[in-house]
A and B are shown apart, each in its own frame.
Chain A
């Protein structure tokens, strides 16, 4: 059974720092991995999607990497801002299952 783990569960850093969020998964047979952002009481906003054949994707200050062989992905946020404060979730799309398996998320707080 695929399990997705995100560490740490919560992270608080000063504004301007670069930071890395981690996501690990137990089964490397995935189609893709998706990173989402969730603000309190809101739905999920897709940030980046990495196909299984790719190693990384970039969007603005965000960079996500994927290492299928080790079952790991990282989300790198450069020059963090208070507006980046949110919960970040990763999810893997299982081969043949057509569904996402989610991690529990990392709650990020950027302090001004």
Chain B
């Protein structure tokens, strides 16, 4: 089955720790995205990547880092510099052609203890 997988589904972090969220897609999409969603709010863009080995900051990149070493994978690291990391994190992908729709993974809920 083609799609986007995110792991883990739930993640707990102690203050001061870095954690990495996994995102994998087998849709052969070039572009991948990370969004953050807080309760009752829309999604905000953290980072995005249109090709392998290249990525750009989104609107709220501070305290986060990413890598894009493979087309299929776009992991997100939440660093200790992110002051309020408790949120629902969503990964998405799309073909790089303009006007293509984005497809989303099931999300990872991160809670800081």
A interface, CB within 8 angstroms of B: 4, 9, 31-32, 34, 36, 41-46, 49, 51-52, 89, 91, 93, 98-100, 102-105
Contacts and interface: CB of A to CB of B under 8 A. Distances in A.
B43 interface: yes
In the complex, the 10 A-B pairs of residues with the closest C-beta atoms, listed nearest first: A102-B42, A44-B104, A43-B104, A49-B101, A43-B106, A104-B42, A102-B43, A31-B99, A32-B99, A43-B107
23 contacts: A9-B40, A32-B99, A36-B104, A41-B107, A41-B109, A44-B92, A45-B104, A46-B101, A46-B102, A46-B103, A46-B104, A51-B99, A52-B99, A98-B31, A98-B48, A98-B50, A98-B96, A99-B48, A102-B35, A102-B42, A102-B44, A104-B40, A104-B42
Contacts of B16: none
Given A31-B99, A93-B99, A100-B102, A105 B42 contact: yes
Contacts of B105: 43
Contacts of A44: 43, 90, 92, 104
A4 B43 CA distance: 11
Contacts of B92: 44
Interface of B: 6, 31, 33, 35, 40-45, 48, 50, 58, 88, 90, 92, 96, 98-99, 101-107, 109
Contacts of B31: 98
A11 to B, nearest CB: 15
B106 A42 contact: yes
